[in-house]
Amino acid sequence: MAGKHNFLGGASIDPKPITGSMTVADLVESAFLAYNAARLREACQLFVEKMLDEDVTIGMSITGALTPAGLGMSCVIPLIENGFVDWIVSTGANLYHDTHFGIGLRMHRGNPQTSDITLRDEGVVRIYDIFFDYSVLLSTDEFYRRIIDGPEFQREMSTAEFHYLCGKYIAERERVLRIGRKSLLAAAHDAAIPIYTSSPGDSSIGMNVAAKALTGGKLRFDVTADVNESAAIVLNAKRTGGKSAVLILGGGSPKNFILQTEPQIQEVLKIEEKGHDYFLQVTDARPDTGGLSGATPSEAVSWGKIDPDKLPDSVVCYLDSTVALPILTAYALARHKPRKAKRLYERREALMQMLADEHAKAKGRG
């Protein structure tokens, strides 16, 4: 039977010894040869060799407490500033904790074995091994209550509009404090990257908006605008001759929101489309429990979320995002030049008109 198959056509596993002078990118390419290390290598190569092409629109979803761990500063901001992310869907909690850093507050490394009863008595809040003073929450709450009292917030708006305005104020606070760029919200404002929150009431930001509503605040989140704007971003990527890619960190509601853009286009708006072209997910969830966080790209094909012809361009890494994202970021910065920012936030009206026009044509066809 020898020679009648191609199962042994892959490169030989024969790595060179690791040295102290190796870069992260070199390490990934030479030593990440099997198991989830190999999936991470494949993810890095997919991201750099295909997803970062100029004609690809990249959406990133962020789930899990990543910004408290510093990944906003260490990874997301460099990705934004190099044009490697075009739009974002995040939990509100990640954006709330991101704000701490932008307004000059601190979070600290701690011991997860510390008694939570003792921490409570001392006024210390814990996110596993991240510790911070309870006053950090109170100060951030006060920051949001003050800015949303402003006249520009007294209306209904998409979460992208809300986060863009918030980013402006956080960027100004960074400037006054002379602390450099600490907040991804501020970085996204500068790059005109729209940031959506799929569950805007499910965070301390949403809680403070709700509190202001009790005393006459007029701010309301237009979630239907979020659904249509995000769908318009994806459709525009395809209609302008490009492709759509998703980089999913974790799962949950942001994962569904970034992927449901295609069912919104195809199933609901009846516009002819095939699905996202590139799918890259980092997750620690199992697929066999039926939860969305572990759902595979092939399952997404059945919903119309992923183009079935593009399944080979899909990678799932079963890893902690705090491990995978820094490596992916370092690899991308080493292996790809910066891209020009697409500044999608500034183009929302035109994209929405394009979506409405295509929907009208689809309805006319019956």
Q: Are 184 and 76 in contact (CB under 8 A)?
A: yes
Write out the two tokens for 260.
Answer: 């449901």
Kind plus residue range of the DSSP H or E element containing 184: helix 184-191
**Catalytic hit among 182, 305, 310, 342:** 305
Cβ proximity of 261 and 300 under 8 Å: no
Angle between helices 159-177 and 92-102 (to 10 degrees): 20
Contact predicate 276/56, CB 8 Å: no
Considering only CA atoms, which of 327, 54, 90, 85 is closest in space to residue 190?
85
Residue holding tokens 């609901």?
Answer: 268
Neighbours of 191 (CB within 10 A): 20
Q: How distant is the alpha carbon of residue 283 from its chain centre?
A: 13
Of 346, 144, 324, which Cα lies nearest the Cα of 233? 346
Encoded tokens for 50? 């295909």
The answer to whether residue 305 is catalytic is: yes
Residue reference for tokens 């919200």: 185
Closest listed residue to residue 210, CA positions, set 142, 145, 140: 145
Taking the C-alpha atoms of residue 176 and residue 154, their distance in angstroms, rounded to an integer, is 26
Query: In this structure, what token pair is assigned to residue 85?
Result: 């992310």
CA distance 202 to 216: 21
Q: Angle 317-320-326 (CA atoms, 0-180°, nearest 5)?
A: 90
Contact 325, 66 (CB under 8 A): yes
HSE-CB of 351 using CA atoms within 13 angstroms? 23
> What residues act catalytically?
305
